[in-house]
Amino acid sequence: MLQWLGEAVVLFARTLVAIRLRARDRHRIVVQLARIGSETLPIAALLALFIGMVLVVQSADQLREVSQSVLGPIVGLAMTKEIGPVMMGFLLAGRAGSAMAAELGSMAVYDELAALRTMDIDPVRFLVMPRMLAATIAMPVLVLYADFVGIAGGALVIAVDPAIHLAVSEYLARLLEWVKLGDVVVGLVKGAVFGTVASVVPCAFGLATRGGAEGIAASTTAAVVWSFVLILLVDLVIVRLTFGLT
């Protein structure tokens, strides 16, 4: 584990050094942004909607004897600070990250990376940099999107479920009262960091791929699993660092 972690950290540092924003680099970033968007947005909506709904139903059940008026703060804080960023991080790693590992792995196995090197083209600048920047930029947007859809999912259940005795207006009013701008910002920062993790880790595994189709499959699986693990680890660190701040 320490070896791949070291490789991922080195790749991250090399990618930072390789950042260039010439017109063709910006074009590559936009292409990656479009890919990430098309791969994740529909599933992000579905996931966030159901998680928002389940959160409300589950919490309402627990709060039956107390007060369901805290449903808004529960859904709002959970979505913005924790579930939104982590869920989107997992989604990015599973959808776009796995594609990155497979694509770069295939390029490594079939000598396309070698072809780039023979043309004096740095694969980190050409391939990793646009992917990392695109994922880092896309994630806060995805998190915000998931926050809204999740909160809307909760409101939808409150509106139609007769077992929940709470007006949608009160749900939203209490939510806005409790969820501060700082909570949203922490979630967005987490999103950006998870976006970096969910792109650099798959790229590191992809670039290190050896062997044929088996090697590509192994890299892709490992990239997703270790992205999940690292996202949770980084999440814990960020939660601890921002403890008491919001």
Partner 1 sequence: MAAPPHGVAVALRGVRKAYDRQVVLAGVDLQVAPGELVAIVGQSGQGKSVLLRQVIGLETPDAGEIAVGGLPLPRWLALPPEEKPFRIAMVFQNAELLASLTVAENVALRLEEHGRLSRAALRDVVGRVLASVDLAGVEDKRPGELSGGMRKRVGIARALASEPELILYDEPTADLDPLLTEQIAALIARIRRERGTTQLIVTHNLALARVIADRIAVLDAGRIVEYSTPEALRASPTPLVRELLRAAALGI
Q: CA 70 → CA 159, 184, 205, 219, distances in Å? A: 16, 18, 44, 44
Q: Is 21 in the site for partner 1 (CB under 8 A)?
A: no
Going by C-alpha positions, the residue among 74, 47, 48, 46 that lies closest to residue 166 is 74
- Fill in the per-residue mask, 84 to 113: x = in contact with partner 1 (CB under 8 A), - = not in contact: -------------------x---x--xxx-
- Looking at residues 131 to 150 of the shown chain, list those that interact with partner 1 (rule: CB under 8 A): none
Q: Alpha helices, DSSP H only, in 63-128? A: 71-77, 84-92, 98-109, 112-118, 123
Q: Is 120 in the site for partner 1 (CB under 8 A)?
A: yes
Q: Alpha helices, DSSP H only, in 19-66? A: 23-62
Instruction: Give min distance, CB of 114 to partner 1, in A.
Output: 5
Instruction: Give min distance, CB of 18 to partner 1, in A.
Output: 13
Exposed, middle or buried: residue 143 (CB in 10 Å: 0-12, 13-18, 19+)? buried
Nearer to partner 1, 7 or 112 (CB): 112
Residue 185 tokens read as 């910002």
- Return the DSSP state at 165: -
Q: Is 61 in the site for partner 1 (CB under 8 A)?
A: no
Q: Is 115 in the site for partner 1 (CB under 8 A)?
A: yes
Q: Binding residue for partner 1 (CB under 8 A) from 24, 64, 165, 210?
A: 24
- Fill in the per-residue mask, 205 to 224: x = in contact with partner 1 (CB under 8 A), - = not in contact: --------------------
Asked if residues 238 and 197 have their Cβ atoms less than 8 Å apart, the reply is no
Q: Is 66 in the site for partner 1 (CB under 8 A)?
A: no
For partner 1, the binding residues (CB under 8 A) are 24, 103, 107, 110-112, 114-121, 126
